[in-house]
Structure 1
Amino acid sequence: MFDRRILLTTVAGLFGLSAFRWLRGTPAEAGEKAAEKFEITKTEAEWRAQLTPQQYEILRNHGTERPGSSPLLKEHRKGVFACAGCDLPLFASDTKFESGTGWPSFYQPIEGNVGKTEDRTYGMLRTEVHCRRCGGHLGHVFDDGPKPTGLRYCIDGFGLVFHPAAASAT
């Protein structure tokens, strides 16, 4: 009886430890994005001086805006959504769709401009997306989007700026 309790306690402890490590991620995973080299690097003071408080919270601290709070949620003009940190074009307006989530959603980024990392925060396994040029956090990508990709890039609108397409001469 005594040996069985020790065995069960040991097994439960090892299971709990491995679950904790999985939920928080390993140090290598935590530093994965930090180890990535970006074309644009600035000090935190420089980022704070350049960005609004909302932009800084999202792009630099991996924050999340309240659903429905971004003015870009209802932006339907033709143009490009770019990184608010470095102005790299990230999403074409024709890839934007209404997901009903309260965040601007796109089914495809501009090729090569959005990076991905594993995110294990909040006890979930998700794919975080960031700007390839400055490393700014943009949001997450999920596999419940529309055709043709089946992906939903759920993006914090305060991490973006919108550039309308130039009016064509008639």
Structure 2
Amino acid sequence: MSLASVRAFFAEKAPDIAIIAQAASTATVAEAAATLGVAPARIAKTLSIRVDGQPMLIVTRGDSRLDNRKTKAAFGNRPRMLGAEDVEALTGHPPGGVCPFGLATAIPVYCDISLRAFDTVYPAAGARTASVCITPERMVALTGAAWVDVCTVPEPDDG
């Protein structure tokens, strides 16, 4: 699966979106931002969590943090991060390449409202060296995601 499943996903649903293959790693927010030449906030990181036994993906901006209080309000309980083996089994993507596209299993996808601050964002594309450039609204439409408010973002530095 992985990159091949993401390629198949875009070939079927959005052939106009190109996968950006890199020689350098985009596995972390810092690596992706440096490799793609964008601010870390514009990297759309995908968090793999479980709430009350239900696995789900949360896509959020690169500089945000999952807020336990907000997550409990939205989903009824605190989130637990999935282990690497569970992540790969459920998504078909390796950690560092996890994205909401071309998933191995049908798990719920949510996009944090923090993504709406940007016209385009850069989520991974099923591999540690691949990503796409996409509008947050199009990502939601293509993946069937729902908008949620479960993350906090850093305060702007006015200094």
TM-score (structure 1 length as normaliser): 0.25
Q: Between the two structures, name the one with larger relative contact order (CA 8 Å, sep ≥ 6).
A: 2
CA radius of gyration, larger in: 1
TM-score (structure 2 length as normaliser): 0.26
